[in-house]
Amino acid sequence: MSIEIKAVKRDVKGTGASRRLRRAGNVPGVVYGGEQPAVSIEFDHKELFLQFRHEAFHASILSLVLDGKAESVLLRDYQLHPVRNTIQHIDFQRVSASEKIHVKVPFHFVNEEAAPGVKLGGGSISHIQTEADISCLAKDLPEFIEIDLSNLETGHSVHLSEVKLPKGVEFVQLAHGDDAAIATILKPRGGDDSAAAEVEAPAAE
């Protein structure tokens, strides 16, 4: 199901105008890309933030309704207030159905507790990457990519090339020859050293 966000055109621009918008409970923004010119827009902050706080909002094709007309867009940039955590500005890019897009998509790690390196080896999982840049058509964009760790042993890692991606989706990093690690299982700290200490300790006299 597509996430819908509503906006209206913003006629007044500039720092002062944006400040007044925020005080009124609105968020200034821009939509650009495609064959159309960039348009300054504004949103109701409360309505926008209800969608913004969901993970899917950041890695999905969104339906932007402007002047009663819906168009497909991607979230491209935003600024948050450092203290109040409110949205200060937000940018969207129009999406073409026939052109590939580059988007950062989050990883969802599953079966961590079942991994032999954790269950049997007592190791701990380290998430080296929590998201990755992918390339695909808009219709093929996944909200997240699942990483199954059920077979991961202590000291071993899962790499990009080992992940089964949906049809039409590819890792940009891997396409450039970088088969980076995503997650690894670290050995238990001090496990071997403590065991050796017990063996080598002299008997009490």
Handedness of CA 185, 150, 54, 72 (dihedral sign): positive
The 10s digit of each residue's pLDDT in 146-168 is 999 999 999 999 999 999 999 99
Q: Among residues of the chain, what percentage have pLDDT more than 90?
A: 75
Q: Among residues of the chain, what percentage have pLDDT more than 70?
A: 92
- Secondary structure string (H, E, C) spanning 9-75: ECCCCCHHHHHHHHHCCEEEEEEECCCCCCEEEEEEHHHHHHHHCCHHHHCCCEEEEECCEEEEEEE
- Residue 30: per-residue pLDDT: 96
Mean pLDDT over the full length of the chain: 89
More confident call, 162 vs 193:
162
The 10s digit of each residue's pLDDT in 7-54 is 999 887 778 888 888 999 999 999 999 888 999 999 999 999 999 999
pTM: 0.79
165 Cβ neighbours under 8 A, 6+ residues apart: 134, 145, 171
- Residue 49: per-residue pLDDT: 96
For range 122-143, the mean pLDDT = 94
Is pLDDT of 199 > 50?
no
Geometric angle at alpha carbon 38, from 140 and 70, rounded to 5°? 50
- Residue 194: per-residue pLDDT: 38
- Residue 95: per-residue pLDDT: 94
- Residue 193: per-residue pLDDT: 41
Phi and psi (nearest 5°) for 192? Answer: -70, -40
